[in-house]
Structure 1
Amino acid sequence: MEATVPTAPLAERMRPRTLDEFCGQQHLLGPGKALRIMIETDRLASLIFWGPPGCGKTTLAHIVAHATGSRFVFFSAIMAGVKEIREIFKEAAEQAADGIRTILFVDEIHRFNKAQQDAFLPAVEKGLVTIIGATTENPSFEVIAPLLSRCRVLRLKHLEPEELAGLVRHALLDAERGLGSLHLAIDDEALNFLTEAAQGDGRKVLNTLEVAAQLLPPDTPVISLELMQEALQQKALLYDKGGEEHYNVISAFIKSMRGSDPDGALYWLARMLEAGEDPLFILRRMIILASEDIGNADPRALQMAVAALQAFQMVGMPEGRIILGQAVTYLATAPKSNASYVGIDAALAEVRKSGALEVPLHIRNAPTKLMKELGYHKGYRYAHDYEGGYVRQEYLPDRLRGKTFYAPRGHGYEKNILERMEWVKKQGKKE
C-alpha cells in the first residue's frame, strides 16, 4: 500500500493496512465468511461495496488489492470519464500480459452515468480488470443491470460504538501513525459522546479525535466531554439509549402523534435524531402507531409509514430526515382510531377464554365425498351470488353467535366503514 503523508488527517494516517487491523464487517471478513474466503483463496470476483460513509469501503478495497498482490487503481466519476476508462483498460491489458491483475476501485459508482458504466462492461467481461465499486446508495437503483449482474454486492454495516471506541483507543496508543507520542487519554463520557455522535462513521470519529487533541490546553493530557463537544460543535443531549430518558423521549414522541400534535411530534423526532437514535427504530415505532392508533380511520397511514421506512433505507441520512418529517406530520394529523387494535386483542382474549371452538359445518370446505356426506359445506351461501355481494350468514362458532370484536369509531374513513356495516345489518333484517 502507498505510504501515508505525515500531514494527512488522522483517519487517513490510521487507515488499516491488513485484514487483522481492519475494524468491523465481521459478517464478511470473519472466519468462513464470503469476502475472507475470496481473499484467502485468491478467487476474487468483481464486487460492489454498499454501505454508509466511514464504514471502510475504500480501505477494504486497498486491503483486498494488497492481500491478493494486485495493482490498485483509484477511479472517480468526478475526476474522469469514458476516455480515461479506456486508458486504464489499455494499461490493465499490458499488466495482465505480465501476469499482474488490476483492481479498479470505482469510488461513488452511483454517480457514474449510463455511458460510463457501459464502458466498464467489456473489460470486466474479458477479465482485464476486477472492479470494486463503492456506493452509499442502493445499487439496485443506481447501477445498470448488465454491470450489476457481473458483480457481487456486499452490504457493509455502520460501525458499532464499541468498534468506534476501539479505533479511538488504537489511535491514542499508536505513536507511529496516530497520537501516541502525545500521551493522551480520553474520559469515558467524552468517548461515549464521540462514538454515539459519529453514527457509525469511523472517519468522523478519528478526525474529530484529532481536532479535540489540537484543542487541548498545554499540560492537559485528558480529553474531556466539554472539549469533545467543542471539537464536534455539538452538545451532548440528555438521552441514554439504554436508560430512562430514551423511553421518556420515545413515549413523548408517540403520544404527540397519537394526540394529533405535529409540532410536538417533530420536536421529539428532532431530539432523537440529534442524539443519535437509530432512525430505523423510530420508523418501526411509527409503523406500529399507524396501525394501533390510526388504523382504518385512514388506511393510507400504514402505507405512508411503510413507504417512509423503504424510502429511508434507499436514501439514508441526512436527506432521510425529510422523509421522517413528512411521515411524522402525516401520522400526527391523520384521524385516529384504535378500533382494529382493540378488536384483535378482544378476539385473542376470547380465543384464550373459550379455546378451539369447532368451525361451523357450512363454512368448511368439502374436498372429498366423505366430507360432503358428513355435511361439510352444506348450506353455504356464496356472497357474490347475491345482490350487493352480501347475504346474511353466520361465520362465528355457535357459542359466539352475535359476538362483536370490531367497533369502528366513525372517524375519518371509518365513517364509510360504519355506513357499510349499517347497510349489512339492514340487509340481514330483510331476510
Structure 2
Amino acid sequence: MPEGTLFPEEPSFAPGTPLAERMRPKSLDEVVGQDEVVAVLKGFLARGELPSLVLWGPPGCGKTTIARLLSAHLNAQFVSFSAVLSGVKEAKTVMDEAKRLRQATGRKTVLFVDEVHRFNKAQQDAFLPFLETGDIVLVGATTENPSFELNRALLSRVKVYVLKPLSPEVMEGLLRKALTDRQRGLGSMELSVDARALARIVSLAAGDARVAYTLLELAAELAGPKGVVNPELVERVAQRRLALYDKEGEEHYNLISALHKSIRNSDPDAALYWLARMLEGGADPRFIARRLLRVASEDVGLADPRALEQAAAAALAVEHVGLPECDLALAQAAVYLALAPKSNALYAGYGKAREVVQQKEPYPVPLHLRNPVTPLMARLGYGQGYVYAHDTEEKVAAMECLPEELAGERFYQPSGEGFEQRIRERLADIARRKAKHGGTKNSGS
C-alpha cells in the first residue's frame, strides 16, 4: 500500500457499507476544504513526527478521516476510541497496551478519541502520563471549544487545529465525485441529477459531508438505476431539516449571543432569524424568554419602560401556551425590543453601584433614614433630620440619601433616547426643587 494510503487501490467494501464510508479520502491529498490544517500536518509528517493534537470542528468536516490518515502515514497502530461509548477504564487498557507495543517493537500507537470533551476534566488526566512518555500520540476530536472543555494540563500538551465547515462549493464537488465514481461511489447507477437537487442537498447538509452523502444515497435508492434525482425527491428523503443547533454546546451560546446583539443593534430581521434558528433547532423557549427579559433591562431600559412589559408578557405566554404556539409571542417581544430606543444607562448605573459596594466598605445607613422603632433608637438619633417629602411644597426634601462618604455620587445617568429624555428633564426639575429649599450635594442633572 503506498505511503499515506488508507484503502487499497481496488477497494472492497462489505455489502451495505454507507456511501460516506466508501467515499472517505484515501490520502491526505484527497482531503478537501481543510487546506491550511492539512499543509501543517504534512509538514510534521515530512519530518517523521506527529505531535499529540486536537481537531476542533463541526460534524462531518473530516476529523476522523484526518486522524486515520495520519496514522497510516506514520505506520502506527491506529486505535479509535469514543468517549461517548466508553470510559476512562477502557482508555487506560488501550494505553497500557500501547506502552507494551512501543517497548516491544518501537511502534507508536495513534489513539483517536472522538468526542474527547465528553471526558470530564479530571478524567482527562488519565492521558497525561502516556503523553509524557511518548507511548501514544493522542488525536482528539471535538465539536466543542477546547478552551472550555479540556483541562489546562491536557491543553498544554496538545496542539489545537480548527477545522472549518465544508463550503458549498466543496460539498458540491464531493457529491459530483460520488456520482461519477464507479468503484466507491454511485457511478454505476448512471443517475441523472438535477443541479437544483444537488444545491438542496448541500443546503440541507450545512457543511456536514456525512449528512450530504447520506441524503444523496437515500435519494439514489429511491430513484433506482438510471433514475432521476430532483429537488422533490430530495425533500422526500430529507422530510425536514434539523437546524444546526446544539442545545448544550458552544453553538447554543453563539446563537443566543447573535440574537441578543442583533436586538441591541436594532435589527429586527436578524433578531427573527436567530430566534427561528434556536426555536427550530429545539431550544427551550423559557431560556430565550429569560434572555429577552434581560435584554429589556440591559439594552432598552427606561428608554422604553414598556419593553420589560413586552418581554414579561412573552415569558408568561411561554409558560401558559408552550411551543409551538408561543413562538409568535417571543417573535413579537424580540421585534419590539429591536425597534425600541436603546439605553444602557440602567446597566451602567447598576454596574457602578455594584462596583462601589464590592470595593468599598459597607457604609452605615445615615441616622435620618433609619426608623426609630424603639425609644432607645430615638435617643440614639434614629430618624432625626428626616423630612417627609409629601409634607414639602415641592414634594422633594433637600436631604442626602446616600451615606456621607458617597454624597453627590451619580450612578444612573439617563441618555437622551426615548423616554429617558423625559427622565433627564425630571431629574433636572428635582434638582431645581431641592435647590429651592437649601440645595443638596446630590442635586443636578
Shift of residue 269, structure 1, vs aligned partner: 4.6
> How many angstroms apart in 2 are the aligned matches of 1:26 and 1:173?
24
Question: For residue 408 of structure 2, what is the aligned residue in structure 1?
Answer: 388
1:186 pairs with one of 193, 197, 205: 193
> How many angstroms apart in 2 are the aligned matches of 1:39 and 1:298?
61
How many residue pairs match? The answer is 313
Contact 1:161 1:195 in 2 (8 A): yes
Contact 1:174 1:180 in 2 (8 A): yes
> How many angstroms apart in 1 are the aligned matches of 2:279 and 2:171?
19
Identify which range, 91-100 or 420-429, moves more after superposition.
420-429
Spell out, residue by residue over 1:97-126, the C-alpha distance to the aligned partner (whole angstroms, 9 max, x if none): 312111100011111134531211100111
Shift of residue 214, structure 1, vs aligned partner: 0.3
1:5 pairs with one of 14, 28, 42: 14
Spell out, residue by residue over 1:60-101, the C-alpha distance to the aligned partner (whole angstroms, 9 max, x if none): 101111122221111112443333223222221232231211
> How many angstroms apart in 1 are the aligned matches of 2:177 and 2:145?
32
> How many angstroms apart in 1 are the aligned matches of 2:190 and 2:217?
13
Structure 2 residue matching 1:20: 3-state secondary structure: helix
The answer to whether the aligner puts 1:25 opposite 2:45 as a matched pair is no
The answer to whether the aligner puts 1:198 opposite 2:177 as a matched pair is no
> How many angstroms apart in 2 are the aligned matches of 1:108 and 1:267?
29
Give RMSD over aligned pairs.
4.3
Question: For residue 129 of structure 1, what is the aligned residue in structure 2?
Answer: 136
Question: For residue 81 of structure 1, what is the aligned residue in structure 2?
Answer: 87
Contact 1:337 1:408 in 2 (8 A): no
Q: Which runs of 4+ in 1 moved over 6 A?
A: 257-261, 271-275, 324-329, 424-431
Spell out, residue by residue over 1:362-416, the C-alpha distance to the aligned partner (whole angstroms, 9 max, x if none): xxxxxxxxxxxxxxxxxxxxxxx996258xxxxxxxxxxxxxxx632216xx765
Contact 1:297 1:335 in 2 (8 A): no
Question: For residue 393 of structure 1, what is the aligned residue in structure 2?
Answer: none
What are the within-5 Å matches in structure 2 for residues 250-269 of structure 1? 269=275
- Amino acid in structure 1 at the alignment position of 2:66: L
Question: For residue 71 of structure 1, what is the aligned residue in structure 2?
Answer: 77
> How many angstroms apart in 1 are the aligned matches of 2:67 and 2:428?
62
- What is the TM-score when the length of structure 2 is the normalising length? 0.59
2:214 pairs with one of 207, 212, 217: 207
- Amino acid in structure 2 at the alignment position of 1:178: G
Contact 1:266 1:329 in 2 (8 A): no
Shift of residue 331, structure 1, vs aligned partner: 3.7
> How many angstroms apart in 1 are the aligned matches of 2:86 and 2:212?
30
1:162 pairs with one of 164, 169, 173: 169
Shift of residue 22, structure 1, vs aligned partner: 0.9
1:172 pairs with one of 173, 179, 187: 179
> How many angstroms apart in 1 are the aligned matches of 2:328 and 2:66?
35
Q: 1:386 to 1:72 in 2, by over 3 A?
A: closer
What are the within-5 Å matches in structure 2 for residues 369-408 of structure 1? 388-389=408-409, 407-408=416-417
Larger radius of gyration: 2
Q: 1:196 to 1:112 in 2, by over 3 A?
A: same
Q: 1:186 to 1:145 in 2, by over 3 A?
A: same
> How many angstroms apart in 1 are the aligned matches of 2:74 and 2:335?
54
Q: 1:160 to 1:85 in 2, by over 3 A?
A: same
> How many angstroms apart in 2 are the aligned matches of 1:387 and 1:83?
63
Question: For residue 61 of structure 1, what is the aligned residue in structure 2?
Answer: 67
> How many angstroms apart in 2 are the aligned matches of 1:79 and 1:267?
35
The answer to whether the aligner puts 1:91 opposite 2:97 as a matched pair is yes
Question: For residue 362 of structure 1, what is the aligned residue in structure 2?
Answer: none
Unaligned runs of 5+ in 2: 1-5, 242-261, 282-291, 308-326, 345-404
Contact 1:265 1:329 in 2 (8 A): no
> How many angstroms apart in 2 are the aligned matches of 1:119 and 1:134?
17
- What is the TM-score when the length of structure 1 is the normalising length? 0.61
What are the within-5 Å matches in structure 2 for residues 328-343 of structure 1? 331-334=334-337, 337-338=340-341
Shift of residue 134, structure 1, vs aligned partner: 0.8
- Identical aligned pairs, as a percentage? 43
The answer to whether the aligner puts 1:15 opposite 2:24 as a matched pair is yes
Question: For residue 107 of structure 1, what is the aligned residue in structure 2?
Answer: 114
